[in-house]
Structure 1
Amino acid sequence: MEKEVIKFESEFSIDCVIFGFEAGELKVLLIERKDNPYKEWLALPGNLVMNDEGIEEAAVRILHELTGLNNLHMEQFHTFGAVNRHPRGRIITVAYYALIRIDSQKELRPGKLASKALWHSVTDLPKLAFDHTEIFKTGFHKLRRRLSYQPIAYELLPEKFTLTQLQQLYEAILNKKLDKRNFRKKMLSYGFLKELDEKQKNVSFRAAKLYKFDRRKYSKIFQNEIGVDM
């Protein structure tokens, strides 16, 4: 008696949640879809994994093809596998996220599946295609959790930044106002901010001191994770 052959029709995809910080706002990278399903909807950069490529390889390829970005350090943060999450059938997606300095990136270049690639503020995000709103929220929650025990904020800031910019970033991620004096005192007390002999340039207001994140000093002082909960 022949054994019954069970056919599996699930496919795999990659979706990317890329965070950036610009002009005091936390932003996420989106594309405008060119084709159905969800034609002209905003969505996270994502696509199907080819049969002959690995998950990590696919993540790099997909992000580059849809946005032009390359050489990003991306990390897996969740897998989404609801039965009806995609109109064409059971498609399981592996979600990645990355933090980048927007000012260090070249101009975005949408690929053949996207009409646009753009940075969008996280504060007024519209409903996204597929279940991408849920994927974004899960990635945002991951970002908030990591902020409490790792100095990831410095991956989003320019190499040289002011304490005001640093506080604005924390407030954008945590979605709450922080006391200026207490925040600065706490950040400086950790010992991994290097005060530079420089100030802001080309500003219409009083120029503030610039600082730099001293990664070597951070590694030396903090062998264990530290809490920076506000």
Structure 2
Amino acid sequence: MSAVIFSLRSAPEGDRLMLPLVRRTRDPHLGVWALPGGWLDPDEDLDSAASRTLAETTALMPSYLEQLYTFGAVDRSPTRVVSIVYWALLRSDLVDAQRSSAGAPENVEWFDADDLPPLAFDHNHIADYALDRLRNKVGYSRIAAGLLPDEFTLTELREVYEAVLGRRLDPSNFRRLLEGTDELVPTERFRTGKHRPARLYRRNRDT
């Protein structure tokens, strides 16, 4: 069982969509980066196993978790292990807090989702598949909000979409698109800073 977990991480050029990789400590592919994963215990269901293996290998607990696909190509591993793969989202404000409180493993590092090193087994293919799934899904759902705290501005949400899609979006069109739906609920709070106060929104969990 493996997992691809996406989150936003700060970079000099702005927030980037990134994912954690684990350096393998045994053969095959000793010392090579790989997706976090582990074995399914006989007495646990798939969702529980995915959450457990992520916590054990990365000290992270995702805010969104979904089964992605089952990979079982003949040449994917020396013994042809079939892998059930999940993909997950982690709120940007929880990454450092979770890793510091749980004790981050030393063999885990974050990498740009669009610039991964050569990975063990077929994990480059799996990561690309998960990234395509995420980019397709943001086109018809509000899943990108799962990368943000409970409350956020429309600008912050637009920047998440831009990081996921890898391209700039027109601010006015983006605002009109979202304000015409019931996916977001405006709050009475505002974000203050260098610019004029911006209203905070939250996801409508009833939709």
Equivalent residue, structure 2, for 1:20: 7
**Which amino acid in the other structure matches residue 82 of structure 2?**
I
Report the CA distance between 1:208 and its aligned residue: 4.6
Equivalent residue, structure 1, for 2:124: 133
**Which amino acid in the other structure matches residue 87 of structure 2?**
Y
Give the whole-Å Cα distance in 1 for the aligned partners of 2:43 and 2:181: 47
Report the CA distance between 1:170 and its aligned residue: 1.0
Deviations, residues 101-138 of structure 1 (Å, cap 9, x unaligned): 13124116456xxx422332213222222111111111
Residue 86 (structure 2) pairs with residue 96 (structure 1):
yes
Given the two structures, how large is their TM-score scaled by the length of structure 1? 0.75
In structure 2, runs of 5+ residues without a counterpart are: none
Secondary structure in 2 aligned to 1:213?
strand
Residues 138, 197 of structure 1: CA spacing in aligned structure 2 closer, same or farther, 3 A cutoff?
Answer: same
Equivalent residue, structure 2, for 1:65: 56
Report the CA distance between 1:66 and its aligned residue: 0.6
Equivalent residue, structure 2, for 1:8: none
Secondary structure in 1 aligned to 2:129?
helix
Report the CA distance between 1:154 and its aligned residue: 1.1
**Which amino acid in the other structure matches residue 45 of structure 1?**
P
Larger of the two Rg values belongs to structure: 1
Residue 99 (structure 2) pairs with residue 107 (structure 1):
yes
Taking the TM superposition and a 5 Å limit, the aligned residue runs for 1:218-229 are 219=207
Secondary structure in 2 aligned to 1:56?
helix
Residues 191, 76 of structure 1: CA spacing in aligned structure 2 closer, same or farther, 3 A cutoff?
Answer: closer
Deviations, residues 18-56 of structure 1 (Å, cap 9, x unaligned): 111233221212212222222222211012334555433
Deviations, residues 144-163 of structure 1 (Å, cap 9, x unaligned): 22212221111111222222
Give the whole-Å Cα distance in 2 for the aligned partners of 1:200 and 1:86: 50
Any conservation in 2 of the 1:33–1:42 contact (CA below 8 Å)? yes
In structure 1, runs of 5+ residues without a counterpart are: 1-13, 220-230
Of 106, 114, 119 in structure 1, the residue corresponding to residue 110 of structure 2 is 119
* Alignment root-mean-square deviation, CA: 2.4
